Amino acid sequence: MSDVSFVRTEMLPEQAPPASEVGLIGWVRHNLFSGWFNSILTVISLYAVYYVLSGVLPWTFQSVWNANSLTECREIMMATWGSTHGHACWAVINDRWLQLLFGFYPSHLYWRPILSLVLLLVALAPVLYSDRVPTKMLIITGIYPFLMPFLMWGGTIWGPMSAAIGFVLGWFVYNLLNKQLSELIGMIGAAVAAVIWWLILSSYFVGVMDSILPIGIEAVQSRQFGGFMLAILLGVVAIGVSLPIGIVLALGRQSDLLIVKYMCVGFIEFIRGVPLITLLFVASLLLNLFLPPGTNFDIILRVMIMMTLFSAAYMAEVIRGGLAALPRGQYEGADSLGLNYWQAQRLIIMPQALKISIPGIVSTFIGIFKDTVLVSIIGLFDVLGLANAIRADTAWNGIYWELFAFIGALFFVVCFSMSRYSMYLERKLQTGHH
Amino acid sequence: MTTLTDPPKEHFRLSMLLYDTRYRSATIQVIALIGFMLLAAWIISNTIQNLEALGKPVEFGFFGEAASYDINQRLLEYNSRDSHLRAAFIGLLNTLVVAVLGCITATIIGVLVGVLRLSKNWLVARVMTVYVEMFRNVPVLLWIVLAMAILIESLPAPRAFRGDEPEATMKLFDSVAITNRGVYVPDFLFSRSLGDIHLFGTSSLRFDISLDLVAVLIVLAGSIFAMRKVSAFAAAKQESTGDRPTIWYIQLGILFAPMVILLTALGCHLGYPELTGFNFKGGTHMRNSLIALWLALSLYTAAFIAEIVRAGIMAISKGQTEAASALGLRPGRTMRLVILPQALRVIIPPMISNYLNLTKNSSLAIAVGYMDITGTLGGITMNQTGRELECVLLLMLVYLSISLSISGVMNWYNNRVKLVER
């Protein structure tokens, strides 16, 4: 009886899945044609991609690289392809790329902006990749803010040197007074000492040192600055200076000191409520009115100041978001350890708050970097201003796609890498348990 | 036995201003206030001295003078004999026009792209990612100038529309003309018009309100009110009896019937643009500067809105979707009834700041010659009168008020839809 069974006693061999469910076909079915709606979407997107690529690829690659004017470009196109339509004239970039990058910076001194950029990367390395680069490199980061203006503007070395001495002096006074009297007096004393040095003593110091030991390199006027270099210069300065100011403003806005709080709130809301272009008008037209009669400092410096204030207000809001997101217990924990305000901020609050606000900080960076093109409206020759000048030139009158594609690509590369870096940093600093 | 008593009261000493945390905050605030006032006084006295040296005392009398420049894109009537104040007012309206148009289109495109970016369709998601990254990482000014250049250089001139075999034809059943001088769209005309109301007499702020438009708006509001009443009635019936009466045809009737009757009574018809001589006449003329600005601002802001929408939807935990499908809701209804209402609360605050950004970015109109408030008050008026201080400060004040009003309204809306917790 036992050899009769109504159910199968052994397993069937495993069968291969149907061809329509695996491999390329399966992937296409699941991802592109999973229903009538998806299929329509896929077909539409395929058509759109084809339409764009069929226009852009021949335009980009069947192009003219060597010509002296748009007319010449068109003649070459007619001779080669029989039509002027659908072919790029990259000759304009080939002709003017140095100008688009450096503006009217003297061409024999191009090494200086390039060296500044390289040093910038070196100075940023220990900050950006703190786990892979030795901490000693931070010395370069400290020197860079004084070295960069020296390289870019040239002139005597004693100018930047004296600016640095102001900071050293302030630090010295702070330490002295902090030990002797109190922290508050130390801070005030440091600020007063530094300001006195910069405003009054510094010019004598530079004059004397320059006559004793004239070390310097060829000076470059601000009006010769331009091109993409100007965007990077303005962006780096605004970003670098606005972060500390933003932190101070955010702390001020969160503080219990009513007067300080309302001053910070007023500043932040005012700056955030007006467009950058009005602040640039202030830089170009009004800032000289606000200063003592007779002072006339250069337009790039004025623009830098306004852009820094602008980005500091946005930065302050981003950091305030980070501060607000910290659990109350962190503040109480710091208090219970007996840390004073600045110690608590430095050791407990800020490291966490800044970490939370990294995405916001980086998008503010990207925003301010993109906003540097606005200086073309107040007449500086940044990359867009130069592009407009080139378009007004008789040789290249009527060209636009090639120029804008080039400028767009420059900005895209910088901004896109910044946003990718922020994602990397978020992943790296992720200490939660997920 | 010891008794606990209050510690002896300390007398106030001057050093406590520095070392005692109870008094130190007062010290800091007083110092900050003095510093701030010194700075303000210094700036103001410098400004006064500088202005005196230039011979330009601060005064706003120039606003009454004739502007003597033309504004080609405008909502209200204006001519070059009107005052600078009138020009600034026209400019302000132009700013608001482009801001409102931009916000609407940016929201539509942004929501669409944001949802499509999350699509399971691999190709669509990638295409939308490319769009978002391309627009987010390139300055908006570049997009504006590029849009303007494309419109001017690549579109046909009005004369291309002439002749028996024209090079260019009008689009949408011969109603829209897209030319390199701008877009001409049909406008609504009323043959039995009710007339206009003139407000503010002949002052700089005068404007006309079309009674036809008012009538249309009143009827529309009435219809919507009636529709809500009907659906409330249907809901009440469903509550009491359990089945919902079919009301969609009543709703449609209420929405369209009064409007059609009103428009017929007013003799509403479309005025088509027509080519006469070298240019188009009739219809509404939207200049290239407006179109370029609108297009670029919408597409740029839409990329940001798409990211916000995507983040908002992703912030809703997967459990909500699973619970909805466990209840038997189809994906479309899950999105509409479960995900979006919750995502909206996450989305609204960043959306506010994007609307503000769009409004502020509309000041870049000056780069393409669209006469908004920056182009009039901060542009030609300032250059003609040489009153930089007054013009720039007023310009800032105007933008500040616009920003504060937008954020006020949007924050009110945000508070209304916000989840009330405990």
Q: Which residues of B touch A259 (CB under 8 A)?
A: 29, 32-33
A188 vs B108, higher pLDDT = B108
pLDDT of B1 higher than 60? no
- Determine the pLDDT at residue B4: 63
User: Which residues constitute the domain of residue B98?
Assistant: 60-149+288-422
- Picking from B25, B121, B399, the nearest residue to A38 by CB comes out as B121
Give A409 to chain B, closest Cα distance, Å: 8
User: Which tens digits make up the pLDDT trace of A39-65?
Assistant: 898 999 999 999 999 988 888 888 888
Q: How many CB atoms lie within 10 A of CB B325?
A: 13
Task: Decide if B29 and A289 are in contact by the 8 Å CB cutoff.
Answer: no
Q: Is A263 on the interface with B (CB under 8 A)?
A: yes
Tell which A residues from 342 to 371 touch B, by Cβ distance under 8 Å: 366, 370-371
A108 phi, psi to nearest 5 deg: -75, -5
The SS3 of residue B275 is strand
- Determine the pLDDT at residue B297: 95
User: Which tens digits make up the pLDDT trace of B266-295?
Assistant: 877 777 877 777 777 777 888 889 999 999
* Positions in chain A whose pLDDT score sits under 70: 1-2, 431-434
Smallest CA–CA distance from A27 into chain B, residue? B122
- Picking from A289, A377, A398, the nearest residue to B50 by CB comes out as A289
Q: How far apart are CA B55 and CA A245, in angstroms?
A: 37
Q: How far apart are CA A28 and CA A9, in angstroms?
A: 39
Q: Is A392 on the interface with B (CB under 8 A)?
A: no
Q: Which long-range contacts (CB under 8 A, 24 or more apart) does A398-403 make?
A: A398/A70, A398/B153, A399/A70, A399/A89, A399/A92, A400/B146, A400/B149, A400/B150, A400/B153, A401/A59, A401/A88, A402/A88, A402/A89, A402/A90, A402/A92, A402/A93, A403/A92, A403/A93
Which of B361, B349, B362 is closest to B305 using CA atoms?
B349
In chain A the first and final C-alpha atoms are separated, in Å, by 59
Tell which A residues from 216 to 255 touch B, by Cβ distance under 8 Å: none
Q: How many CB atoms lie within 10 A of CB A93?
A: 19
Give B36 to chain A, closest Cα distance, Å: 9
Task: Decide if B149 and A404 are in contact by the 8 Å CB cutoff.
Answer: yes
Picking from B146, B307, B346, B394 by the largest number of A CB atoms within 10 A of its own CB, the best residue to mutate is B146
Q: Which residues of A touch B49 (CB under 8 A)?
A: 292-293
Picking from A182, A195, A259, A305 by the largest number of B CB atoms within 10 A of its own CB, the best residue to mutate is A259
Task: Decide if B360 and A182 are in contact by the 8 Å CB cutoff.
Answer: no
B119 vs B103, higher pLDDT = B103
Contact in structure between B250 and B266 (CB atoms under 8 Å): no
- Determine the pLDDT at residue B15: 75
Q: Which helix (H) or strand (E) covers residue B183, if one does?
A: strand B182-185
Interacting residues of A62 by C-beta distance below 8 A, sequence separation 6+: A80, A81, A86, A87, A88
- The tokens for B318 are 């997967």
Q: How far apart are CA B15 and CA B22, in angstroms?
A: 12
Q: How far apart are CA A372 and CA A311, in angstroms?
A: 11
- Determine the pLDDT at residue A4: 75
Rg (CA), chain B: 29
Q: Is residue B55 part of a domain?
A: no
- Picking from B18, B46, B124, the nearest residue to A185 by CB comes out as B18
- Determine the pLDDT at residue A429: 77
Interacting residues of A72 by C-beta distance below 8 A, sequence separation 6+: A91
pLDDT of B418 higher than 80? no
Task: Decide if B121 and A31 are in contact by the 8 Å CB cutoff.
Answer: yes
User: Which tens digits make up the pLDDT trace of B12-46?
Assistant: 777 777 777 778 788 888 888 998 999 999 999 98
Picking from A373, A397, A422 by the largest number of B CB atoms within 10 A of its own CB, the best residue to mutate is A373
Which of A229, A283, A252 is closest to A120 using CA atoms?
A229
Beta strands in B200-311 (DSSP E): 207-210, 268-271, 274-276, 279-281, 284-286
The SS3 of residue A156 is strand
- Picking from B119, B150, B396, the nearest residue to A274 by CB comes out as B396
DSSP secondary structure string for all residues of B284-344? EEE-HHHHHHHHHHHHHHHHHHHHHHHHHHHHS-HHHHHHHHHTT--HHHIIIIIIHHHHH
* Over residues B316-341, mean pLDDT: 88
- Determine the pLDDT at residue B102: 95
Q: How far apart are CA A217 and CA B222, in angstroms?
A: 77
Rg (CA), chain A: 30
CA dist A330 to A320, A340, A344, Å? 15, 14, 9
A6 phi, psi to nearest 5 deg: -100, -10
Q: How far apart are CA A384 and CA B174, in angstroms?
A: 38
Pairing of strands B284-286, B182-185: antiparallel
- Picking from B18, B47, B120, the nearest residue to A290 by CB comes out as B47
- Determine the pLDDT at residue B69: 83
* Over residues B329-338, mean pLDDT: 86
User: Which tens digits make up the pLDDT trace of A129-142?
Assistant: 777 778 788 888 88
Contact in structure between B182 and B285 (CB atoms under 8 Å): yes
Give B136 to chain A, closest Cα distance, Å: 9
Q: Where are the domains of chain A?
A: 18-61, 225-399+414-434
Task: Decide if A278 and B363 are in contact by the 8 Å CB cutoff.
Answer: yes
| Overall number of domains in chain B | 1
Contact in structure between A381 and A104 (CB atoms under 8 Å): yes
Which of A368, A365, A374 is closest to A419 using CA atoms?
A365
Task: Decide if B389 and A282 are in contact by the 8 Å CB cutoff.
Answer: no
Q: How far apart are CA A165 and CA A211, in angstroms?
A: 18
Q: Is residue B72 part of a domain?
A: yes
Q: Which residues of A touch B374 (CB under 8 A)?
A: 275, 277-278
Q: How many CB atoms lie within 10 A of CB B134?
A: 15
Burial, B234: exposed, middle or buried (Cβ in 10 Å; 0-12, 13-18, 19+)?
Answer: middle
- Determine the pLDDT at residue B420: 62
pLDDT of B71 higher than 70? yes
Q: How far apart are CA A380 and CA A230, in angstroms?
A: 9
- For residue B270, the cross-strand partners are B188
Q: How far apart are CA B274 and CA B130, in angstroms?
A: 40
B198 phi, psi to nearest 5 deg: -100, 125
Contact in structure between B148 and B368 (CB atoms under 8 Å): yes
Q: How far apart are CA A229 and CA A386, in angstroms?
A: 12
C-alpha triplet B373, B375, B379: angle, nearest 5°: 115
Q: Is residue B34 part of a domain?
A: no
Sign of CA dihedral B148, B153, B157, B160: negative
The SS3 of residue B200 is coil
- Determine the pLDDT at residue A433: 55
The SS3 of residue B179 is strand
Task: Decide if B153 and A398 are in contact by the 8 Å CB cutoff.
Answer: yes
Picking from B33, B132, B142 by the largest number of A CB atoms within 10 A of its own CB, the best residue to mutate is B142
Q: Is A29 on the interface with B (CB under 8 A)?
A: no
Q: How far apart are CA A248 and CA B331, in angstroms?
A: 48
Contact in structure between A154 and A219 (CB atoms under 8 Å): yes
Say which CATH architecture domain A225-399+414-434 belongs to: Orthogonal Bundle (1.10)
Q: Maximum CA pair distance of chain A?
A: 119
- Determine the pLDDT at residue A34: 79
